[in-house]
Structures are given as C-alpha cells and as structure tokens.
Amino acid sequence: MTEIKELIKLSGEIANKHGWKIIWVSATDIVKDRNIINQSQILQNVILNKGRILTIGDSLSLVHSEVSEALDAYRNDDKGNFGEECADIAIRLFHMCYDLKINLEKEIKLKMKKNKERPVHHGRKNL
C-alpha cells in the first residue's frame, strides 16, 4: 500500500512539472493587482518552474472547486465521477502540502488523536 507521504510527493512533483507551484504569501505581502512585494521569491519560482505561482488562497480555491464538482456529481447520482472528484480533492491538497512542506501524515494522526478525545457532537454544530 502506498503511504500518504509518497502520494504527496508524487502529486507535488507532477503538479510542479506541469507548471503549478504554490508558495506561502501572507495576506500582508499581497498588494494591488496581485503583485507580490517579495519579487525575488516570485522570480526565482517562475524561473525554476516556468509556470504559474499559486498563493494559498489560489490553492484553497482549487480544492474548493473540486469539492463543488464532487457535490455536483453527488447531486447527479454519478458515483463514478464522484470518486474521481474525491481523488482530485486529495491531489490538490497533497500538492499544497508538498510545496509548503507540511507533514500531512503527522498532522492527520495528531488531529485524529485530538478528535478521539472530544465529546460527541462537540462545538454545537447543527448539521
């Protein structure tokens, strides 16, 4: 079985090879017309990747678009496409974790441990 870290690495390498690179740019670094103050970081990434630089907001928007496509597949009772869209969600997330050097496997284990200790229906959310 392939480990999450292997899938993350492969997702990131494929996306970067195809011209997509995610960088951490804080909201305070972004100015009018999406120009970024730290131009040297942008130039370095553009030269290395010959592609598009994505901010965290861009990347999360792409994850959201895949979630919306999964919802559409569900609404259309299209189980085959629903599975593919779920894979797209994971791939987008894995790419972001790869570029930002987030150890998703570790974070999932920590979060699951935290969730295990929470009371049933914590947070008073009504779903």
Amino acid at 117: E
- Here the tokens at position 10 are 């492969």
Of 26 and 119, more confident:
119
| Residue reference for tokens 């496997």 | 105
- Tell me: the pLDDT tens digits for 70-90? 999 999 999 999 999 999 999
Q: Count of alpha carbons within 13 Å of 4, Cβ hemisphere only?
A: 13
Q: How confident is the model at residue 48 (pLDDT cuts 50, 70, 90)?
A: low
The domain locations on the chain are: 4-124
pLDDT at 32 over 50: no
Overall CATH class of domain 4-124: mainly alpha
Most confident of 16-30, 51-65, 67-81: 67-81
